[in-house]
Amino acid sequence: MTATVAHSPTRNLPNPMLPNPYRVQRVRKETQDTFTLELEPANGQSDFHFAAGQFNMLYIFGVGEVPISISGDPGKPRKLVHTTRAVGVVTSAMQQLKRDDMVGVRGPFGNDWPVVEAQGKDVVIVAGGLGLAPVRPALYHVLNHREKYDNVVLLYGTRTPNDILYRREVEKWRARLDVDVHVTVDRAIHPWRGNVGVVTRLIPKSPFDHLNAVAMICGPEVMIRFTVLELERRGVLPDNIFISMERNMKCATGFCGHCQWGPNFVCKDGPVFRYSEIKPFFGQRGL
C-alpha cells in the first residue's frame, strides 16, 4: 500500500483554475450582437476590486470559458460589468443568459491601463468598435479623478451608427465641457450627421499635446496598427502609446501557453502593452 499526498488545493493554496459562482443581476442589450451583464457573487454581496484594463474568465455551464474584459467603473467595485459580443460558441450561449442565471468567474487577470502614469498629462483614448468596452474603465477612472489629468480626448469609431456602444453614455460624455469626444462611423445611416471615415482620421486634429500625451488604444489589430502610425506621425513617442492585445486564452494564469505573443504571455504580461516594448515584433505576421 503506497501512501499519497493530500491534494486539497483550496485548503493549502488557492486554485486559480477554479471559478467562483456569480449571478446575473441585469442584462442589457447594447447593439444587435452585443450585450452587457452585471454580475454579483452568488453567495452573498462582496466587492470585486479590479484595475482598469483587467479581464475575467467567464464560464457558461457545460459550454466553456472565455476571456472578457471588465468594462465597469473601477471606482464602483460593487458591480461587476462585462460587455460581450456574441461571435461563437461560448459568447452566443452567454447571450442567452437571463437575470438570476449563474456564470462562473475567475479573475481579475492581467495588467492595467497606465492611468497613474498618465497623471498630469493629456489622455488620448482611441477605441474601435467593441474596443470601447475594455478602455471604458480607464475613462471612468480618469473622469473620477478629472483634476489629475490635462486634456482628455476620446476618439471612437464603429462600423455604422447602430454599432455605437453605450450610446446614451457616449452622448453624455460628449456633452461635457471637460472631455473631447469624437465619434466616427465607417458607413453612415440616416439620420447620422457626424464624422464618416476611419477613426485614425480624427487624430491629426484632436486637441492634445503630442509631447505630453499618453495614448490608450483598444480595437481590432489592424485598427491599432494604423492608429499607432497616425499617433507617431503626430509625434507621440512610442513610450507613451499603450495598446491592448487579444490572443487565444485557456487559463489566464500563464500555464496553458496559448496566449504567447513573441516573448510575452498576453494573459500575465498584458493585455496592455507599452508600444515601445513590443514595437520590434508588432505587426509581424504569424507570431
Partner 1 sequence: MTQTTLRVNEHGLVQHADLQHLITALHDKGYQVIGPTLQDSAVVYDEIDSIADLPAGWTDEQDGGTYRLKRRDDAALFGYTNSPQSWKKFLHPPRRRLWQAQREDAESDFVFMPENGTLPRYAFLGVRACELNAIAIQNTVFTKGPFIDPMFKALHDAAFIVAVNCIQAGGTCFCASMDSGPHVHSGFDLALTELIDADRHVFLVEVGSRRGAEIMEQVPFEPAQEHDLAAVRRIESAVADDMGRTMDTTDIKQFLYDNVNHPRWDDVANRCLTCSNCTIVCPTCFCTTVEDVTDLTGNQAERWQRWDSCFTLDFAYIHGGSVRALARDRYRQWMTHKLASWIDQFDSSGCVGCGRCITWCPVGIDITEEVHAMRESDTTSAEISTLNMV
Ligand X SMILES: Cc1cc2nc3c(=O)[nH]c(=O)nc-3n(C[C@H](O)[C@H](O)[C@H](O)COP(=O)(O)OP(=O)(O)OC[C@H]3O[C@@H](n4cnc5c(N)ncnc54)[C@H](O)[C@@H]3O)c2cc1C
- The Cβ of residue 248 has, within 10 Å, a number of other Cβ atoms equal to 12
What region does 214 belong to: left with phi over 0, alpha with psi -120 to 50, or beta? beta
Number of residues this chain uses to bind partner 1 (CB under 8 A): 54
x/- map, 75-114, ligand FES, by CB under 6 A: ----------------------------------------
Answer yes or no: are the C-beta atoms of 150 and 174 closer than 8 Å: no
Per the listing, cell 465619434 goes with 183
- 145 near partner 1, judged by CB under 8 A: no
Q: Is the dihedral of CA 94, 97, 102, 105 positive or negative?
A: positive
Contacting residues for 69 by C-beta, under 8 A, at least 6 apart: 53, 54, 55, 82, 83, 133, 134, 244, 271
Backbone angles phi, psi at 285, to 5 degrees: -70, 140
Answer yes or no: are the C-beta atoms of 217 and 244 closer than 8 Å: yes
- 175 near partner 1, judged by CB under 8 A: no
CB of 3 to partner 1, least distance (A): 3
Q: How is the beta sheet containing 272-274 ordered, strand by strand?
A: 195-196, 180-185, 152-158, 122-128, 213-218, 241-244, 272-274
CB of 81 to partner 1, least distance (A): 21
CA atoms of 20 and 103, how far apart (whole Å): 8
Q: Is the dihedral of CA 253, 259, 264, 267 positive or negative?
A: negative
- 281 near partner 1, judged by CB under 8 A: yes
- The Cβ of residue 63 has, within 10 Å, a number of other Cβ atoms equal to 14
Number of residues this chain uses to bind ligand FES (CB under 6 A): 12
Answer yes or no: are the C-beta atoms of 245 and 266 closer than 8 Å: yes
- 91 near ligand X, judged by CB under 6 A: yes
Among 225, 234, 247, 279, binds ligand X (CB under 6 A): 247
Answer yes or no: are the C-beta atoms of 57 and 19 closer than 8 Å: yes
Nearer to partner 1, 120 or 257 (CB): 257
SS3 229: helix
- 154 near ligand FES, judged by CB under 6 A: no
Among 22, 37, 39, 67, binds ligand X (CB under 6 A): 67
- 251 near ligand FES, judged by CB under 6 A: yes
Among 22, 51, 57, 69, binds ligand X (CB under 6 A): 69
x/- map, 218-247, partner 1, by CB under 8 A: ----x--x--------------------xx
Nearer to partner 1, 112 or 246 (CB): 246
Stretch that binds ligand FES, among 45-53, 142-150, 247-255, 279-287 (CB under 6 A): 247-255
Nearer to ligand X, 93 or 198 (CB): 93
Binding site for partner 1 (CB under 8 A): 2-10, 12-21, 42, 61-65, 87-88, 102, 104, 222, 225, 246-248, 250-251, 253-258, 260, 262-263, 265, 268, 280-281, 283-287
Binding site for ligand X (CB under 6 A): 55, 64, 66-69, 71, 83-85, 87-91, 130, 133-134, 246-249, 271
